[in-house]
Structure 1
């Protein structure tokens, strides 16, 4: 555990130090978010913070590769290097978009290529756990499912990236839950070595988010931009794919008395971690298509917009979404390690309290300075597929 905590701390420290340097670079290359009617930030703010997160992530992985404990993760297979290489490429793609506003087709093609690099090097589903069994699908089907998962994760983070500290905080919390599950599962199923690629990747991602948050939380001095949103989506999905498709779902049966649950957890947990971004993505696409618009069209009706329209402040909206992510992500993890009845009671109480805090109408704050049809300060409206 200590080496993983070191990875988190190292990624956080490097990202924290690198972010001011990236902020200066972003201003020089004009990667700056302008002011628009639907935005809530009050001054033009540099984006491209994902570059700093990538630096922290890369340094943590490179140092880990030189340690005796985690070095074997890098020598057994090329997956770790494939994830790092794909992360670099997709961050560069996002940085180009932060500077030049690429069209959505160019970004989609780039995303497919980056995901394809990981898949080519073995980061893909091998099996698909289904309740008390595992499905063996054709290689082409597994390839398509893997690519789809990566693309959905990338664009889900992109869609939810709309308020100061929102995306980085959600991924840090959800990733923290994923880290706990992956580590404990490895400890309980592998007596030879606790070194695990998924645990390492998610530890570095969480560290990068934690290092970036002090610069990005309200009021942010820099936004992560597409470079950060794409980076987080790709790396988080990579860790999820490794756990879901490469660990025998029956191996965790000893963790809980609920027979059907262990096999289902490898699928449930990644969904729980990404639940808020995924819900926002689905609602946005359905809403726009139902209105006869392109699913890539910008609007101001994301989950965070709706919360702010009810009268929640910028900071409170972010904290509410943090709380929901905590409930679902850590609730899913608790299902594996605690008695089912205890977890369900705790989740029920948490959900009821969350609904009350979220839904109870508050006086809507009026502002003559800017329109309240806010998008949020992150870059610009995310229009990824």
Structure 2
């Protein structure tokens, strides 16, 4: 059996294996975490009220790696150019290194600055190995001209790449405040990257995205509210870096190109949330790493939304933004219909919440 000439079958197999492996491995990780006392204690900033194992990222990494290993063994990465092959393995190695930083924080509660220094160092190594934003693409087709592709000087390419990799990684990490939120948003983003990678004939990046999406789906089996396990910083760092790196090594490498536009739109909520939180903390004289309850999901909970409805609303907004990105990328009507359907879902989630909050007498009238 070979998958070398069947990219769609390779993606489906990779997705299915990653989802199944994650669903099977995570309960084992949970049992071991409980046995060894590796749990996250509740406090005033957290939503859980009992100790929870926060090593779910171990299961995600094992399943992701197993799915890609099987796909590689069956020839799914056959005929890949040498330079693209290096980018794929650099992405995997970088994601594993980010995972180790997060895992060390889960186990030993590392201070913020050493974590950030490690992230910056790994991102610079990844840039040196070719995972880099190398050009600025200026679209001119709308005005009848040809697109302009301007190469970036090395210092600017390094700066843009490091900000991209570290920024998205920490946006996903900060999003991991409610059951299933980070895994669901990452899964939606990965499916979007899978779609655009295959539409632009970049199957290698698509296979990475398929493994990431499958791992997120399998993890949600145990992490959606009420969660039985958390992914921890190890899991969120792994998902964030993998998502950011795949968007670079996939369809293109320009700052305004398809590969960066899609995750930028999909992750605009967590990125905006991270920016707002940092600015709010700095304005009050606190460190950007000062823990508080300023995040988007905290604000939505304070409006009266339930835990699940808050998560589903952020899912819906993420899917809506992703659908708009796919419309811009592919200009296909089906994605426009998906965006419109998602907008209706958002309206239903918000309007039903308001209806439920009205007094009974008012609703009867």
1:248-267 paired onto structure 2 within 5 Å: 264-267=257-260
In 2, distance between residues paired with 1:11 and 1:352? 31
- Residue 63 of structure 1 deviates from its aligned partner by 1.6
In 1, distance between residues paired with 2:128 and 2:58? 24
Q: Could you list the runs of 5+ residues in structure 2 that have no partner in the other structure?
A: 1-7, 141-147, 358-365
- Residue 131 of structure 1 deviates from its aligned partner by 2.4
Q: Which of 88, 102, 107 pairs up with 1:80?
A: 88
- Residue 96 of structure 1 deviates from its aligned partner by 1.0
In 2, distance between residues paired with 1:37 and 1:334? 42
Q: Could you list the runs of 5+ residues in structure 1 that have no partner in the other structure?
A: 187-194, 250-262, 365-385
Matched, 1:354 2:361: no
CA spacing shift, 1:334–1:105, aligned 2, 3 Å? same
In 2, distance between residues paired with 1:13 and 1:55? 11
CA spacing shift, 1:355–1:282, aligned 2, 3 Å? farther
Deviations 1:280-311 (A, max 9, x none): 11111111112222111111121111111111
Q: Which of 97, 102, 105 pairs up with 2:113?
A: 105
1:57-76 paired onto structure 2 within 5 Å: 57-73=64-80, 75-76=82-83
- Residue 202 of structure 1 deviates from its aligned partner by 1.0
Q: Which residue of 1 aligns with 2:362?
A: none
Q: Which of 170, 183, 191 pairs up with 1:155?
A: 170
In the alignment, is the contact (CA less than 8 A) between 2:323 and 2:336 conserved in 1?
no
Q: Which residue of 1 aligns with 2:319?
A: 326
- Residue 213 of structure 1 deviates from its aligned partner by 0.6
Deviations 1:228-261 (A, max 9, x none): 11001100001111136448x9xxxxxxxxxxxx
In 2, distance between residues paired with 1:69 and 1:101? 39
Q: Which residue of 2 aligns with 1:15?
A: 22
Matched, 1:312 2:319: no
Moved more, 141-150 or 221-230: 141-150
In the alignment, is the contact (CA less than 8 A) between 2:18 and 2:63 conserved in 1?
yes
- Residue 344 of structure 1 deviates from its aligned partner by 6.8
Q: Which of 199, 204, 220 pairs up with 2:206?
A: 199
- Residue 345 of structure 1 deviates from its aligned partner by 8.5
Q: Which residue of 1 aligns with 2:292?
A: 299
- Residue 327 of structure 1 deviates from its aligned partner by 0.4
1:252-291 paired onto structure 2 within 5 Å: 264-291=257-284
Q: Which of 2, 19, 27 pairs up with 2:9?
A: 2
In the alignment, is the contact (CA less than 8 A) between 1:26 and 1:32 conserved in 2?
yes
CA spacing shift, 1:6–1:343, aligned 2, 3 Å? closer
In 1, distance between residues paired with 2:212 and 2:335? 27
Deviations 1:144-201 (A, max 9, x none): 2111100001100011111000000011112111211111111xxxxxxxx6332121
Deviations 1:25-57 (A, max 9, x none): 333454311111232212110102111101111
Moved more, 11-20 or 69-78: 69-78
In 2, distance between residues paired with 1:139 and 1:149? 15
- Residue 208 of structure 1 deviates from its aligned partner by 0.8
Moved more, 55-64 or 19-28: 19-28
Kindly tell me the number of residue pairs found equivalent between the two proteins.
342
Q: Which residue of 2 aligns with 1:127?
A: 135
In 1, distance between residues paired with 2:16 and 2:81? 20
Moved more, 355-364 or 46-55: 355-364
Q: Which residue of 2 aligns with 1:377?
A: none
Matched, 1:116 2:124: yes
- Residue 268 of structure 1 deviates from its aligned partner by 1.9
Q: Which residue of 1 aligns with 2:243?
A: 236
The alignment's TM-score, normalised by the length of structure 1, stands at 0.82
Q: Secondary structure at the match of 1:72?
A: coil
- Residue 24 of structure 1 deviates from its aligned partner by 2.6
- Residue 363 of structure 1 deviates from its aligned partner by 7.2
RMSD: 2.6
1:21-36 paired onto structure 2 within 5 Å: 21-36=28-43
In the alignment, is the contact (CA less than 8 A) between 1:54 and 1:87 conserved in 2?
no
In 2, distance between residues paired with 1:348 and 1:209? 25
The alignment's TM-score, normalised by the length of structure 2, stands at 0.86
Deviations 1:110-134 (A, max 9, x none): 2123223322321112222232322
